[in-house]
Every structure is written in structure tokens, then in C-alpha cells.
Structure 1
Amino acid sequence: MTAHEGSNQRQSRRQFARRALSGGVGATLAAAAGATGAVAQVGGPIRSFDHVAIPMRNTDAMLSFYRALGFTVMEGANICSVHFGDNKINLHRPEFWQSGTFTLRASAAEPPCGDFCFVWDGTVDALKVMLDGAGAEVIIGPVERTGGRDGGTASGTSHYIRDPDDNLLEFIVY
């Protein structure tokens, strides 16, 4: 890839992100598909995430870490997953994503590539106790942040940590 092609890809991603923030998911997907005229209604049939997926480097350390944070962990031959509520994060084992045969993934995704924000239903003090108990080092926080609730206008208190693969994890208390 040339420097010019890389610059065009970054510019395209920034434009996509700006459309997503200003026009919502429906408008962004329609624009990305080249649609003109009527756009999907914001808040339409897309209700929530089902799961996200990332590759991982160190299976044992990652699964131990997420267990210590209180996630339910499931282990499969190629993919492990961590669950919370009705959500999950698929963690692709190194031998799976590095094999060259698994192509149903972001082509350039390599650890660390995740940035996740979790809603903590307890207090800020209880969050600190849980993070300390898991051996997680808070790299930033407590800090006030605008989260995804109430159409992206709700304010909460966040703490940021990193998992063993260096993915960024944010815990927000509303």
C-alpha cells in the first residue's frame, strides 16, 4: 500500500465516523452503500450489538484476566468468548487468526486493537475494589465522560485499564 492509499483509507474512515456521529447508523450505512434520497430512520431496526470480536495474543493470560474481572468465560477450539448480560466479546485464539485460513475478520486486526466501554451498575467505590481485586492497574480515572446512554448525552465517571493484550477497557458508572 502506498502512502497515498493509506492516507485515503484514513480519510475515508474519518468521514465514515463523522457521518455516524452526525447522522446516526442508518444514515451512515446508507451513505457508505452509496444510497441517495431517503435514509434509514435513526433508531430503526438496529437495536444493539450482539457481539464484537478481536484477536488475542496470550490465551491463558486473557482468560484469567477476564475471569478476575467477573466475566463469564467460554472456551472453544478456535474462539473463546467473554460474556456480560446479553453481550459477548469473541476472542480469536492466536493459532486461529494467524493461520491465514480464517478470513472472516478485519484484515489488518492484530492485538491490541480493542477499545471497549462497559457500564458498571455498582458504585465507583465498588468498581475500584473489583479492579484492585483483579490486579488491574487504572491508567486514567476517575474522570467524567459522556457515554452512550440517553442518545449519547449522559455523563458518567470512567476508569480505564488495559487487558493482558493491551486492549483498552473503560468502565463507566452512570
Structure 2
Amino acid sequence: MVQPTRQRHGRRKFLERLVAGTTVAASASPAGGSGVRAQEGAISSFDHVAVPMQNTEEMITFYRALGVHVMETAGRVSVHFGDQKINFHRPASWQRATPASLRAPAATPPCGDFCFVWSGSEESLMAALDRAGAEIIGSGMRDGGRALGTVRGMSRYVRDPDGNLLEFMIYS
């Protein structure tokens, strides 16, 4: 669904104001770090993202096959990796969302597009994707998010059982 121009403009202005109050400074970083550190009072990282899911059992099986920790509650399934997580809202949760719900009001599966940093080898990634039954739909070198987008990595793209786009990036 295409967002009305006014709504897109409002979101863009909100993000511009939010980022304008956030200062990021380059600094020496430990090996493997981004080379960027956030100043006090700034956005420093993602804690989690949340999207609705449709195929609960298939999603749980898929993400477990990728080797992430999966936690289940009545309203959601959370997949944990590093210090981050993705909350997948169960169908009963997002299908009955009210205007007062703390969720995106119009999100329906598939609406996720996630890029994961893969810390292992290309071979271990391919083995994990094979275990999960994921078909590679694209690949190539690209700029990642590290060091303000100046570090390149090899990406492999797949879709999860709900159709969300997953990118797995291996930095060299």
C-alpha cells in the first residue's frame, strides 16, 4: 500500500528531527567494532524490532534451524541473537490491534526486511540456510552499516516462511 504523501512527509520530518538531536562521533574502536560511538543522550543501537507473523510453527522451526534462541509467549515469538531480538507478533495479537495498541497500525506479513551480520564462514552460513530450507534469492558485495556504511561485505538474501526478506552479511 502506498503511503499518502503527507503521511510520508510527516514521518520523514519526525526522523530528521530525531536524528538532528543525535550526535555521532568517530573514535578508535576495538577490533570488529564500527569505529563510531554514540554520544551521551543519543541513539546507540537497536534493542529490538517487531513485525507481525502469519505462520507461527513454520517461523519457529525456521529460526531455530538458523541457530538463534527462540522464546515463545502468548502474544509473540522472540528470536534472540547477540544483544538484539526480533519480536514476531502472533496472528491473534496483530489481527485484533486497536488504535491504542503499541504496534504499527497497518503492518501485515510480510513486512520485514532484516540484515543480519553472520560471524561465521560462507560455508557455515550456507549450511545453516540449508538446514532452515532457505532458498538463496540473491547475493553480492554491498556496503553495510559498519563505519557509517564504508565497509563492504558479501550478502546472501533469502525469505523466511512468512516472506520477510532476510539478508546475511559476511564482512571480510
**Where on the TM-score scale, by shorter chain, does this alignment land: which range?**
0.7 to 0.9
Q: Identity, % of aligned pairs?
A: 57
How far residue 131 of structure 1 moved from its aligned partner, in angstroms, is 0.9
In structure 1, the residue matched to 2:60 is: 63
Structure 2's unaligned 5+ residue stretches are 25-37
CA distance in 1 between counterparts of 2:164 and 2:105 reads 18
1:27-42 equivalence runs, <5 A:
28-29=17-18, 39-42=21-24
Distance in 2 (alpha carbons) for counterparts of 1:135 and 1:30: 39
CA contact (8 A) 1:156 1:172 kept: yes
Q: Return the offset for 1:135.
A: 0.9
1:84 counterpart residue number: 81
Higher RCO (C-alpha under 8 Å, 6+ residues apart): 2
- Alpha carbon RMSD of aligned pairs, Å? 2.1
Deviation at 1:16, TM superposition (A): 6.4
Residue 135 of structure 1 pairs with residue 117 of structure 2: no
TM-score, scaled to structure 1: 0.80
Distance verdict in 2 for CA 1:122–1:108, change over 3 Å: same
* Aligned equivalent of 1:173: 170
Q: Aligned partners of 1:139, 1:13: CA distance in 2, in Å?
A: 31
Q: Tell me the number of residue pairs that the alignment of Structure 1 and Structure 2 aligns.
A: 154
Structure 1 residue runs of 5 or longer lacking an equivalent are 20-27, 32-38
Hey, what's the Cα distance between the residues in 2 that align with 1:15 and 1:138?
36
Q: 2:122 aligns with which of 124, 135, 140?
A: 124
TM-score, scaled relative to structure 2: 0.81
Shift of 1:7: 2.6
> Equivalent residues in 2 for 1:145-164 (5 A)?
145-164=142-161
Could you say what secondary structure the match of 2:116 adopts?
A: strand
Q: How far is 1:150 from its partner?
A: 1.3
